[in-house]
């Protein structure tokens, strides 16, 4: 692992809580590492666990999924589905030999700009520790 | 896909908001090299008129059919740019936004990092926009009526405005009477209008208005549907008094076997009520209610030889067989006006609220000075030996506000002024008393506030800058221990009466309302508005609005202003009679669906059902989405065994390329 290794993180954020929380971090000018790229979905329940594996396969070193706090889902139950599905995925990842540090799940509400920063820092730090991901054969985007 | 994507990429400088940390020209140059990108430009403000025209002209000149705007959050300007491209003749859903401001330039310092990240975000947008589909949003009829939850001054005002405009309003109030906290106040700062005098007419109006259906002593149990068509279920709690027969004469309360035995909620426990009661004389509706928790007959099953109230009621209104009733109706918009709870002073044990009867809260003071209060407006206290008129009075401000030790960082905005008001009212009643106010700061920010505060100080009310550390008893006096921070003098002031200027807190039962309507909380735990500046009465849920103290502490003028704002916003769908429902709903590929029904079970909105179709001569079951019910969350999709159900604009085939584009930057 070289010293200037910067992990590449893909994050899936629900529109109503976490994406809004990340926007609030911006409005509040909170600073955090630039390693994270966000894909907006309407609900964390929309995140297919395969997306996480797919991201790792495509070149991400870490993946984050963030939604509304349990009980606060804009769609009532979506984040419960996310929690179930992705919790299972986490176990499976360990089983197939992917360092579970590469995958984080969090609950960030629309008012938690500062929490968003902490979540990003933790995710980046853990992915940095885990090192570049070489586990799967890479596929490049086929434009 | 039939037509080849022709993409225009528009990178916004946003003044220097973006361009200070993102080299926008480099990003545009980079974008131009991405597949299918025909044009890439930068402009100082894309959202401005010339910015939008730039995009529109390009669409016409270059025949663009996809647009990417790399600027602020889509939560800010997606509707703006959708509208713009639609005006230029392309489907509004052929737009993708790259959030390079809130989630890039504002959160990173380094221009190289900011530029690199912006490139990635633009690349991901290009990957996605090529595969977006054209969508048509549908219009459905909106029910020309509204639900208002909570009948404090906020709810009353909102209901009256909507009803006056000619729409039907259902006003639901939890307690037996409308009025809220304002009904408990004596005078109101800064003009000293008598609270009841200005409020009572409005209370009466909202009960008698032909367009308002007042559901008092009721709670909303279920809210389904969406803007324009919310399906509401309300539980009307049993009053055990026939609403139509009760004349409000009060004979029942006078004869109640447990007459005046229970603390009156309205009088903050300082006065007493019977088990059958009217919360206060001007209560609206003027109908009695039997409290099931204090009534002998309802708790013990027996009340002497038979309930006295029933015996004396000439109208025969007492009915112990009454049960809760459910009413259902449909409305086009909802206003939440559930108000606040006063801070519970026992959470500051150093002030001895739970130990010393002569330490009272501001709310209790309102009742004490009120001519309709438990003492008829006389300021009398019991000092352990006798009833006296207090000679030394202390007010303490910021109790439960601006205090991280109780978890409330915020300012409650009304305490400075209500303390000044109460000091003034006491000065009137106790001309010779020593009145002191202990304060951290005085915030007299509103119209007429500073003038009022000045006046009160001239009335010989002493303002002492210091936050008392403790209140304890010495003989029959209370001692306020405090440091006067302006003179650095430690003081132990002996007083007869302490009034705690308690702040405003979110209601303890707000979770219930939150869950009904999927509302969020801001860091102060009050309900969160859609935008702190530009959408202060809206919520994240279309058609649901906020009014009054449920959104944050405010005084009556601000509450009324916000209620009027919420009412006028709520009337938009009602007046139009139509609402646009989202086109971004789930859809099923019936040729691959196996009809397993997993999605049917997952959907929280029962928007999916199994239907039988004929596939190549065979009758098979497939899932079908009811587009009016689907909210487009997409939770169904990961549960599908054959990837047949997909939310439009967030399909697998639209998201996977985004993931891939973000990955190539190893
Ligand atoms: C001690 C004190 C003195 C004050 N003095 C002044 C003053 O002099 N001048 C001034 O301008 N302001 C004053 N204020 C502020 C004023 O009280 C508020 O601005 C005002 O009461 C806010 O009205 P509201 O309708 O938002 O809330 P509320 O008055 O709290 O009304 C909310 C209503 O909603 C009902 N409700 C709650 N939840 C539900 C539910 N789930 N379903 C149905 N109904 C529900 C409640 O029962 C209540 O009737 C004072 C405040 C305090 C604490």
The CATH architecture annotation of domain B238-323 reads: 2-Layer Sandwich (3.30)
Which run of H or E residues covers position B314?
A: none
Distances (CA, A) of A82 to B602, B635, B645: 12, 8, 17
Which run of H or E residues covers position A72?
A: none
Interior angle at CA B58, CA B54 and CA B62, nearest 5: 170
Of B217-221, B352-356, B365-369, B383-387, the one with minimum mean pLDDT is B383-387
pLDDT, tens digit (0-9, with 9 covering 90-100), for A72-124: 899 989 999 999 999 999 999 999 899 999 999 999 999 999 999 999 999 99
d(CA B427, CA A33) in angstroms, rounded, equals: 59
Helices (H), B165-284: 195-208, 251-255
Using the Cβ of A4 and the Cβ atoms of chain B, whether some distance falls under 8 Å is answered with no
pLDDT, tens digit (0-9, with 9 covering 90-100), for A31-65: 999 999 999 999 999 999 999 999 999 899 999 99
Q: Which residues contact B394 (CB under 8 A, 6 or more apart)?
A: B436, B437, B438, B478, B480, B493, B495, B497, B498, B499
Using the Cβ of A109 and the Cβ atoms of chain B, whether some distance falls under 8 Å is answered with yes
Distances (CA, A) of B480 to B348, B397, B485, B501, B580: 14, 13, 15, 14, 60
- Looking at the predicted structure, is the pLDDT value of residue B666 above 60? no
Question: What is the average per-residue pLDDT within B164-170?
Answer: 98
So where are chain B's domains?
7-129, 145-232+328-340+509-578, 238-323, 341-505, 586-647
Structure ipTM over 0.90, yes or no? yes
Question: What is the average per-residue pLDDT within B66-82?
Answer: 96
| Ligand 1 contacts CB of residue B413 (under 6 A) | no
CA distance A118 to chain B (A): 13
Residue B232 DSSP SS3: strand
pLDDT value at position B467? 96
Question: How many other β-carbons are positioned within 10 Å of the β-carbon of residue A122?
Answer: 14
Beta carbons of B164 and B146 less than 8 angstroms apart = no
Q: What is the pTM of this model?
A: 0.88
Nearest to A45 among B75, B127, B634 (CB): B634
d(CA A135, CA B326) in angstroms, rounded, equals: 59
CATH of B586-647, one of 3.40.920.10, 3.40.50.2000, 3.30.70.20, 1.10.10.10: 3.30.70.20
pLDDT, tens digit (0-9, with 9 covering 90-100), for B594-634: 999 999 999 988 899 999 999 889 999 999 999 888 999 99
The CATH architecture annotation of domain B341-505 reads: 3-Layer(bba) Sandwich (3.50)
| Ligand 1 contacts CB of residue B338 (under 6 A) | yes
pLDDT value at position A141? 60
Confidence of residue A1 (pLDDT cuts 50, 70, 90): very low
d(CA B70, CA B14) in angstroms, rounded, equals: 10
Of B121-130, B324-333, B379-388, B469-478, the one with minimum mean pLDDT is B379-388
Equal CATH topology for B7-129 and B238-323: no
So where are chain A's domains?
9-140
CA distance B517 to chain A (A): 9
DSSP B22-79: S-HHHHHHHHHTSTTEEEEEEES-TTSHHHHHHHHHHHHHH---EEEEEES-HHHHHH
CA distance A109 to chain B (A): 8
Ligand 1, residue B503: give the atom nearest the CA.
Answer: 53
Buried b / exposed e along B557-569 (16+ C-beta atoms within 10 A): ebbbebbbbbbbb
pLDDT, tens digit (0-9, with 9 covering 90-100), for B19-46: 999 999 999 999 999 999 999 999 999 9
| Ligand 1 contacts CB of residue B340 (under 6 A) | yes
Domain B7-129 is found in CATH 3.40.50: yes
Q: How many residues does chain A have?
A: 143
Interior angle at CA B655, CA B652 and CA B657, nearest 5: 105
Domain A9-140 is found in CATH 3.40.50: yes
d(CA B475, CA B384) in angstroms, rounded, equals: 10
Report CB contact under 8 Å: A74, B634.
no
Buried b / exposed e along B186-207 (16+ C-beta atoms within 10 A): bbbbbeeeebbeebbebbebbb
Can you name the residues that pair with B645 across neighbouring β-strands?
A: B588
pLDDT value at position A136? 78
Distances (CA, A) of B337 to B510, B546, B547, B552: 11, 6, 5, 11
Report CB contact under 8 Å: B109, A139.
no
pLDDT, tens digit (0-9, with 9 covering 90-100), for B273-332: 999 999 999 999 999 999 999 999 999 999 999 999 999 999 999 999 999 999 999 999
pLDDT value at position B458? 96
Q: Whose CA is nearest to atom 31 of ligand 1?
A: B152
Contacting A residues, span 15-44, partner chain B, CB-CB under 8 Å: 15-17, 19-20, 22-23, 25-27, 29-32, 34, 37-43
Residue A28 DSSP SS3: coil
The number of C-beta contacts closer than 8 angstroms across A and B is 174
* CATH T-level fold of B145-232+328-340+509-578: FAD/NAD(P)-binding domain (3.50.50)
Instruction: List CB contacts (< 8 A) between A27 and chain B.
Output: 102, 106
Residue that the structure tokens 């669409």 belong to:
B59
d(CA B142, CA B544) in angstroms, rounded, equals: 14
- Looking at the predicted structure, is the pLDDT value of residue B418 above 50? yes
Strand order in the sheet with B7-12: B37-43, B7-12, B66-71, B95-99
Q: How many residues does chain B have?
A: 666
pLDDT value at position A4? 79
| Ligand 1 contacts CB of residue B414 (under 6 A) | yes
CA distance B539 to chain A (A): 11
Secondary structure of chain B: what % helix, strand, coil (to 5)? 30, 25, 45
pLDDT, tens digit (0-9, with 9 covering 90-100), for B101-152: 999 999 999 999 999 999 999 999 999 999 999 999 889 999 999 999 999 9
Report CB contact under 8 Å: A77, B632.
no
d(CA B40, CA A116) in angstroms, rounded, equals: 32
């Amino acid at each position: 692992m070289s010293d200037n290794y910067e992990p590449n993180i893909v994050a899936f954020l629900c529109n109503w809580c976490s994406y809004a929380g990340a926007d609030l971090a911006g409005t509040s000018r909170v600073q955090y590492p630039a390693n994270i790229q966000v894909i907006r979905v309407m609900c964390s329940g929309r995140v297919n666990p395969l997306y996480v594996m797919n991201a790792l396969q495509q070149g991400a070193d870490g993946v984050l999924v963030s939604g509304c706090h349990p009980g606060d889902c804009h769609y009532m139950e979506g984040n419960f589905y996310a929690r179930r599905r992705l919790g299972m995925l986490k176990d499976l990842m360990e089983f197939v030999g992917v360092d579970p540090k590469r995958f984080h799940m969090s609950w960030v509400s629309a008012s938690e700009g500062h929490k968003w920063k902490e979540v990003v820092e933790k995710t980046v730090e853990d992915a940095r520790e885990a090192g570049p991901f070489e586990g799967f054969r890479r596929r490049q985007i086929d434009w | 896909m039939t037509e080849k994507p022709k993409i225009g990429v528009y990178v916004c400088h946003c003044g220097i908001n973006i361009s200070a940390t993102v080299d926008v020209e480099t990003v545009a140059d980079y974008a131009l090299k991405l597949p299918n990108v025909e044009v890439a430009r930068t402009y100082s403000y894309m959202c401005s008129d010339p910015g939008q025209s730039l995009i529109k002209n390009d669409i016409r000149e270059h025949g663009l059919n996809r647009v990417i705007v790399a600027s602020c959050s889509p939560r800010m300007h997606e509707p703006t740019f959708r509208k713009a491209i639609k005006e230029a003749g392309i489907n509004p859903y052929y737009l993708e936004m790259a959030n390079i401001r809130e989630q890039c330039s504002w959160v990173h310092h380094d221009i190289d990092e900011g530029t690199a990240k912006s490139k990635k975000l633009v690349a991901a947008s290009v990957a996605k926009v090529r595969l977006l589909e054209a969508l048509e949003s549908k219009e459905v009829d909106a029910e020309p009526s509204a639900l208002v939850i909570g009948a404090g001054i906020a709810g009353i005002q909102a209901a009256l405005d909507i009803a006056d405009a000619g729409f039907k309003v259902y006003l639901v109030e939890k307690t037996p009477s409308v009025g809220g906290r304002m009904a408990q106040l004596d005078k109101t700062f800064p003009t000293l209008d008598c609270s009841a005098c200005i409020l009572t007419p409005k209370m009466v109006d909202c009960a008698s208005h032909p367009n308002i259906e007042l559901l008092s002593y009721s709670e909303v149990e279920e809210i389904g549907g969406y803007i324009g068509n919310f399906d509401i279920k309300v539980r009307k709690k049993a009053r055990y008094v026939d609403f139509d027969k009760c004349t409000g004469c009060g004979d029942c309360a006078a004869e109640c076997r447990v007459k005046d035995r229970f603390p009156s909620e309205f009088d903050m426990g300082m006065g007493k009520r019977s088990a059958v009661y009217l919360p206060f004389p001007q209560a609206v509706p003027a109908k009695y209610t039997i409290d099931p928790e204090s009534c002998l007959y309802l708790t013990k099953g027996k009340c002497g030889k038979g309930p006295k109230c029933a015996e004396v009621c000439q109208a025969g209104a007492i009915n112990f067989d009454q049960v809760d009733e459910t009413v259902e109706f449909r409305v086009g918009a909802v206003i939440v006006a559930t108000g606040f709870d006063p801070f519970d002073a026992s959470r500051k044990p150093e002030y001895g609220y739970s130990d010393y009867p002569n330490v009272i809260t501001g709310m209790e003071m309102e009742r004490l000075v009120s001519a309709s209060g438990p003492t008829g407006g006389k300021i009398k206290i019991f000092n352990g030996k006798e009833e006296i008129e207090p000679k030394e009075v202390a007010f303490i401000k910021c109790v439960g506000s601006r205090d991280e030790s109780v978890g409330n960082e915020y300012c409650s905005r009304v305490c400075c002024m209500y303390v000044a008001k109460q000091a003034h009212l006491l000065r009137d009643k106790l001309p010779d008393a020593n009145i002191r106010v202990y304060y951290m700061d005085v915030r007299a920010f509103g119209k007429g506030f500073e003038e009022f505060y000045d006046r009160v100080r001239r009335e010989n009310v002493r303002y002492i800058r210091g936050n008392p550390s403790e209140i304890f008893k010495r003989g029959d006096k209370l001692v306020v221990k405090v440091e006067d921070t302006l003179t650095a003098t430690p003081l132990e002031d002996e007083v007869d009466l302490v009034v705690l200027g308690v702040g405003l807190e979110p209601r303890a039962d707000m979770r219930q309302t939150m869950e009904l309507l999927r509302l969020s909380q801001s860091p102060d735990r009050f309900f969160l508005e859609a935008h702190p500046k530009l959408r202060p009465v809206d919520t994240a849920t279309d058609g649901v609005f906020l009014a009054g103290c449920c959104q944050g502490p405010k005084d009556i003028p601000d509450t009324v202003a916000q209620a009027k704002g919420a009412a006028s916003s709520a009337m938009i769908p009602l007046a139009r009679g139509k609402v646009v429902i989202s086109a971004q709903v789930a859809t099923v590929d019936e040729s691959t669906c196996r009809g397993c029904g997993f999605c049917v079970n997952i959907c929280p909105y029962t928007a999916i059902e199994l239907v039988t179709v004929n596939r190549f001569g065979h009758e098979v079951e497939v899932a079908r989405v009811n587009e009016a019910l689907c909210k487009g969350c997409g939770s169904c999709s990961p549960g599908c065994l054959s990837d047949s159900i997909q939310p439009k604009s967030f399909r697998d085939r639209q998201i996977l390329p985004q993931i891939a584009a973000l990955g190539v930057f190893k």
